[in-house]
Amino acid sequence: RDARCPACGTRELTTLIDYDAFCGASENRAAGVRRVSPAVLAQRLTSGAQLIDVREPWEWALGHLPGARLMPLGQLERLLSTLDPACETIVYCHLGVRSLEAARQIVAAGFSNVAHLDGGIDRWSVELDSGVPRY
């Protein structure tokens, strides 16, 4: 065995790594994107936040959150000018992947108060409102 080889060496830890940086979490924070849980989003719905659904129209037709506005991810760039940059913007999708991408685009456009629903509408349905269909 070669002790310098990462595959067959001793596997002795010699340094610690920053797991947030390694997994990209610090990149999300640095980009101004926050994650919110369904419970936190439910509280924020009464605070005047802009709630944006970046799913496709057929997904919207299955169910959506009260007060949300449909802005499919593929049309988001074109529709950004219709949003208020001074207002908190919260984005959601089915599972949270597209909403994270959308939130990054919104931050890149100059918005500073941006979050996305962690786990998407699916998590909302599981944790808060089973009346919202899961798909």
Burial class (CB in 10 A: 0-12, 13-18, 19+), 9: exposed
Q: Distance between CA atoms of 66 and 80, rounded to whole angstroms?
A: 20
- Residue 118's DSSP bridge partners are none
Examine the residue annotation and report whether 93 is marked as an active-site residue of this protein.
yes
Catalytic residue numbers, as ranges:
93
